[in-house]
Amino acid sequence: MYERRVITKSEFHYMRVSLDVQNPAKALPVELTNVYFKQAVTAALTRLFGDIGGAMVAVDVLKYNEGDRSAILRVHSHNLVKLWSALTLTDRYMSRKCAFRVHQVSPYLMGLAVNSREYEHT
């Protein structure tokens, strides 16, 4: 009962991103909940690809942490470039200077569990 399958194309890609805001001490006009975060991502897509092009990129916010405004996003593999570049070309959120920082990108959700580059050995 030995079985081996090789899957060469993973269906989704996962990203660990956070939203960096200028002067983080100053509060944003709204509290950035997961709904607002998702909206910010969608807005970034619409701004770059238009209403239709943006809507064709389905993004899931799998996890959101309000404390450091970080999230894990899931996107179809063929839309990864679109989503990523939309996030890169976003510089404003609610008329505040901001930037999406992409910490990790992986074709496996498991890959985001550990980041050996950032782990501090103690």
Partner 1 sequence: MAAFSDLNILHMENVSTKEKLLMAIKLGYEVVAINNYVENVLVKDDKGKSKKEPSKVVEIPAPVKVHLTERDIGDLKVKGASLKQLSRFTTVLSDPGQWRRMQEDDIQAYDLLAVQPTTEKLFHMACTAIEIDIITFNIGDKLTYYLKPAPVSKAIERGVHFEIVYSEGFHSSSRRTFIANALRIMHVTHGKNVIISSGAREAMDVRGPYDVANLGLLIGLQEPQSKDAISTNSRACVLHANTRHSVKSVISVRSSSELKAEDQWTVEACRKEASEESGDDSSESAAEEADSSFDAARPESKRRRMDGV
Partner 2 sequence: MAAPLNFNSPKNLLVFEQSSFSNEKSRHKTVIGDHYFNCAVEVCSPNVAQIPTTVTASLSPSSYYIVRNLPLSRLIDKEFIEAFVRNGAFYAVSLNTRIDVANSVAVLPTGKLVLSVDKDMYETLGLEGRRSIFSQTRERKFVIEVELTKPSFTPGKKNYERTKWCFSERLNLRFDFVFTWVPHDKSICSSSVGKYFSGMGLSVSSCRAQMMSNTMKDVCVPDLLALNILENSQDLFEWLGAVSCYIDSEEEASNDFVSMYTTPSPCNICTQLTHAKWQGFFTPEAIAMVIDEIRLYLKTPDHPPWASVTVHGYADSPVSWRGKEHGYHQGGENIYTYIVFPNDNYWLYMAVGSHDVCP
28 binds partner 1 (CB under 8 A): no
97 binds partner 1 (CB under 8 A): yes
Select from 102, 106, 111, 112 the one that contacts partner 1 (CB under 8 A). 102
CB 105 within 8 A of CB 113: no
The smaller minimum CB distance to partner 1, of residues 22 and 65, is found at: 22
85 binds partner 1 (CB under 8 A): yes
47 token code pair: 């701004």
d(CA 87, CA 45): 7
11 binds partner 1 (CB under 8 A): no
CA 34 remoteness from chain centre: 12
The smaller minimum CB distance to partner 2, of residues 18 and 104, is found at: 104
Helix axes 80-88, 34-55, angle to 10 degrees: 120
Please report, as ranges, the residues that interact with partner 1 according to CB under 8 A: 20, 22, 47-48, 81-82, 84-85, 87-92, 97-99, 101-102, 105
